[in-house]
Structure 1
Amino acid sequence: MNHNGRLILIVEDHLPIAEMLGGYFEAGGYEVDFARDGAEALRLSANNPYDAILLDRNLPRIDGVEVCRRIRQEQRRATPILMLTARDSVQDRVEGLEAGADDYLTKPFSIEELEARLRGLMRRSRKTASEPIRVGDLVLDPHSMTAERGGVTIHLTPIGFQILHLLMREAPRVVSREEIQREVWRDEPPDSDSLRSHLYILRKAIDRGHDTPLLQTIPGMGFRIGEHPSAFTASRNQRESVAMRG
């Protein structure tokens, strides 16, 4: 099937919202599939090459966070996932992003903003490069969109992959928060919690279980990927204290 990069899955159990979203995206030239519970979402995502998934968090049978986790870990799909939810706490956002969501939009939302974010996710997911990049025992392959450390695969969302790609490409240079936002989100900057949450999750993904942390927060300057401490590098206690603050 030729869907020109505009095939999306809407996972929403509230029928009026599903119909509103479906009508809007179909009128805009998208092809749309629907799922009304988590089990149906997993079946459809396993059998169709979606360009993006709009995923409600609160679903019958299997909740949205678990659906997202299974798409990433069991199905090994890198499909951009935008999670829709009525919850807006930082912990809820982190939980969704840790499960593999690329973005998080709180209800009620502007459908124009929803489409803009969705377009941005799909555009970024199509970006590829060629040569693998290595920093210490961390290896990133832009072509296959995979990363590993010490020979162990690291599971990253497309946004997490883009941030890590930028940091590794520029290593050992310090990359500012503003530069990350321009590179990853371009003309659609996220709210302040989004970047902070993505960096927190990325730090856990690449450094947890390793004696030498590679993702370093440089207070007042930005972030860097590096194997060894430098004059710019925060102390271990400083890194831990700012981990959740990004």
Structure 2
Amino acid sequence: MRVLVAEDHRILARTVATGLRRQTMAVDIAHAGDEAERMCLLTDYDVLVLDRDLPVMSGDDVCRRLRELVDPPPILMLTAAGEVEDKVYGLTTLGADDYLAKPFDFAELVARVRTLSRRPPGPAPAGLEYAGIALDPARRTVRVHGRTVELTAREFEVLHLLLRARGAPVDHGTLVRTVWDEHLDPRTSAVRATVSRLRGKLGDPGLITADTGQGYRLCD
């Protein structure tokens, strides 16, 4: 799951991002409204956590502008304006999907983010099959030659990317940007370690190969 936290209070933004990352979410941060809009246009986020009081472009304007897109991200407004009329305005006039007033309980924030990420924007994504692997994105299940395989969230997302590539290599940078986030050190061994565990769970070490300089790919 990939989340954008748009919050101008840098300590709060960092705290929220760190907490969500500990819940195995990939998190990017924007500190201004125009930056948040630009990042949403460039990246498909599962959820946008949006403060209403942002510099350059207000969170209200960001919400309005994103709602003009064909497939906007679900928006959770996170704001100090917690009166009933503020919530009604945010949910109806601005078009936010959810509204959480500050101060908030972090467990509630996590629950709301996960709930929003499960709301399909359109038809449920089709299942993927390749090299004896069947992956269902909606149910988040994986079967290898009919055998059910339990994967962590990161392992599932890595496999999802590899299946979508259907044997073409997926480079390290794409895996980092999509499955992790901009916070991850590109020199880290996290990708290699995740792929290694994934190979073991799939039961065939040769099913995922590493092409020097190109990335990882599935072998049928």
TM range (shorter): 0.5 to 0.7
Q: Supply the distance in 2 between the matched residues of 1:124 and 1:39 (Cα, whole angstroms).
A: 26
> Counterpart of 1:12 in structure 2: which amino acid?
E
2:40 equivalent in structure 1: 45
> Counterpart of 2:105 in structure 1: which amino acid?
S
Q: Does 1:14 align with 2:9?
A: yes
2:80 equivalent in structure 1: 86
Q: Does 1:120 align with 2:115?
A: yes
Which deviations, in whole Å up to 9, do the C-alpha atoms of 1:29-88 show, x marking residues without a partner? Answer: 111111001000010001100000000011101111110010011x33331110001011
Give the 3 Å change call, closer, same or farther, for CA 126–84 of structure 1 in structure 2: same
Alpha-carbon shift at residue 124 of structure 1 (Å): 2.0
Is residue 65–residue 95 contact of structure 1 (8 Å, CA) maintained in 2? no
2:54 equivalent in structure 1: 59
Report sequence identity in percent.
45
Alpha-carbon shift at residue 13 of structure 1 (Å): 0.3
Q: Of 95, 102, 105, which residue of structure 2 is paired with 1:100?
A: 95
Other structure's SS at 1:69 match: helix
| TM-score, with length taken from structure 1 | 0.48
1:69 equivalent in structure 2: 64
> Counterpart of 1:124 in structure 2: which amino acid?
R
Q: Structure 1: which 4+ aligned runs deviate by more than 4 Å?
A: none
Gaps of 5+ in 1: 1-5, 130-246
Q: Supply the distance in 2 between the matched residues of 1:50 and 1:101 (Cα, whole angstroms).
A: 15
> Counterpart of 1:43 in structure 2: which amino acid?
R
Is residue 71–residue 121 contact of structure 2 (8 Å, CA) maintained in 1? no
Alpha-carbon shift at residue 95 of structure 1 (Å): 2.0
> Counterpart of 2:43 in structure 1: which amino acid?
N
| TM-score, with length taken from structure 2 | 0.53
1:134 equivalent in structure 2: none
Is residue 80–residue 125 contact of structure 1 (8 Å, CA) maintained in 2? no
Q: Supply the distance in 2 between the matched residues of 1:125 and 1:119 (Cα, whole angstroms).
A: 12
Is residue 9–residue 53 contact of structure 1 (8 Å, CA) maintained in 2? yes
Is residue 63–residue 95 contact of structure 2 (8 Å, CA) maintained in 1? yes
Q: Supply the distance in 1 between the matched residues of 2:103 and 2:29 (Cα, whole angstroms).
A: 20
Which deviations, in whole Å up to 9, do the C-alpha atoms of 1:89-120 show, x marking residues without a partner? Answer: 22211221121210000000011000101111
Q: Supply the distance in 2 between the matched residues of 1:82 and 1:48 (Cα, whole angstroms).
A: 17
Other structure's SS at 2:123 match: coil
Q: Supply the distance in 2 between the matched residues of 1:127 and 1:77 (Cα, whole angstroms).
A: 9
Other structure's SS at 1:25 match: helix
Other structure's SS at 1:9 match: strand
* Number of equivalences: 123
Is residue 52–residue 60 contact of structure 2 (8 Å, CA) maintained in 1? yes
Give the 3 Å change call, closer, same or farther, for CA 64–23 of structure 1 in structure 2: same
Bigger relative contact order, structure 1 or 2 (CA pairs below 8 A, ≥6 apart): 2
2:178 equivalent in structure 1: none
Q: Supply the distance in 2 between the matched residues of 1:78 and 1:39 (Cα, whole angstroms).
A: 16
Q: How does 1:169-184 map to 2 (within 5 A)?
A: none
1:23 equivalent in structure 2: 18
